[in-house]
Amino acid sequence: MQIKSIGIDLGKTTFHVIAMGMRSQVVARKKFSRSQLLHYTANLPSSLIGMEAGVGSHFLGRTLREQGHEVRLMPAQFVRPFVKSNKNDYRDAEAIAEAVERELQQALQPLLVALEGLSERIAEYNQGIEKLAEQSYPQVELLKQVKGVGTLIALTFLLTLEDPHRFPKSRDVGCFVGLQPGRRNSGQSQPQMHISKEGDPYLRTLLVQGAQHILGPFGPDCDLRRWGLKLAERGGKSGKKRAIIATARKLAVLLHHGKRPRASRTPALGLDADLPVSAPRGTVAVACRCTTAAARR
């Protein structure tokens, strides 16, 4: 059986697959779990595989590329014209398989080139941030011991707080970055309100993104993840959103508290007392914000 292209319709737990032959006819129609899908594609010859760009598509795409396949991710609006009547998951997968081999891909080529150039610029910014942290801020390596924290979050946290000793308790940092929910006192009723959103919005955004990664499907296995997932389970309709904010607040507390033995820990952030905490913020602030701005374009 010769396969010209494969379309995969992504789902949370199941994946619908359509394989097109050399004459653009359907030669295979299957439904898999994630593990079954990867086992199936691992036994196929190198093929052209198309998927809609979305949550999980990049991770799956990297895995399929490691198996030797050519993977192309497409926006959903470019696949829609190929969807036939009576839309379902199999027809979506068939539309993806058709779109990935049609002339539409040629129209997307300039956009793909631009995205490739943008990815290179983001990689350069990331390398610059890594080099800056390694040369000037060795404390970043200490903060990166917290699961879910990378160089960007650690360096931004370090430079935003400047002097960690001004916070007598680590839990005060949650209020400083605007992640503490407010309360309204009205008689015996004390309803919980939205978070204050005070402080640096960029640091707050990074902490929330770190919390989303920790509680996401590919988050690291750690106590903070287990605590956040339990909080989401008993949180009701908006439990996941509340758990993300609570995890971000807990992440800020952990970063301030530090991860070193008590004998070598300074009162607040857990940094060496002889290492500089304050620094010229212009370079790293521009680099950090350029990385996020470039990723959003």
Are 143 and 228 found together in one domain?
A: yes
Which strand (E) or helix (H) includes residue 284?
Answer: helix 282-296
Number of domain units in the chain: 2
In whole angstroms, give the CA distance from residue 233 to residue 214: 15
Q: Does any domain span residue 295?
A: no
CATH number at 90 reads 3.30.420.40
Q: Does any domain span residue 290?
A: no
Q: Does any domain span residue 131?
A: no
Q: Does any domain span residue 216?
A: yes
Q: Does any domain span residue 283?
A: no
Are 153 and 248 found together in one domain?
A: yes
Please determine, for residue 88, whether its predicted confidence score (pLDDT) is greater than 70.
yes
Among 41, 74, 102, identify where a domain stops: 102
Domain range for 196: 138-278
- The structure's pTM equals 0.53
Please determine, for residue 85, whether its predicted confidence score (pLDDT) is greater than 80.
no
Are 45 and 163 found together in one domain?
A: no
**Among residues 296, 294, 278, which one has the least CA distance to residue 286?**
294
> Under a CB-based contact definition with an 8 Å cutoff, are residues 20 and 4 in contact?
yes
> Under a CB-based contact definition with an 8 Å cutoff, are residues 260 and 158 in contact?
no
Stretch 212-234: mean pLDDT: 90
Confidence of residue 18 (pLDDT cuts 50, 70, 90): very high
Confidence of residue 166 (pLDDT cuts 50, 70, 90): confident
Are 40 and 87 found together in one domain?
A: yes
Are 89 and 196 found together in one domain?
A: no
Confidence of residue 234 (pLDDT cuts 50, 70, 90): confident
- Could you tell me the CA-to-CA distances from 291 to 123, 204, 212, 288 in Å, in that order? 9, 16, 19, 5
Among 47, 75, 102, identify where a domain stops: 102
Are 85 and 176 found together in one domain?
A: no
Are 152 and 269 found together in one domain?
A: yes
Stretch 23-50: mean pLDDT: 90
Please determine, for residue 121, whether its predicted confidence score (pLDDT) is greater than 80.
yes
Are 94 and 45 found together in one domain?
A: yes
Q: Does any domain span residue 129?
A: no
In whole angstroms, give the CA distance from residue 216 to residue 212: 6
Look at residue 181 in the predicted model and tell me its pLDDT.
Answer: 80
How far, rounded to the nearest angstrom, does the alpha carbon of residue 249 sit from its chain's CA centroid? Answer: 18
Q: Does any domain span residue 60?
A: yes
- Could you tell me the CA-to-CA distances from 49 to 28, 67, 156, 161, 244 in Å, in that order? 14, 12, 38, 46, 34
Stretch 220-243: mean pLDDT: 88
In whole angstroms, give the CA distance from residue 8 to residue 50: 6
Mean of pLDDT over the chain: 80
Q: Does any domain span residue 121?
A: no
Q: Give the start-end residues of each E strand in the chain.
A: 5-9, 15-20, 26-32, 48-52, 70-74, 181-183, 192-195
**What angle, rounded to 10 degrees, do the helices at 151-161 and 282-296 form?**
140
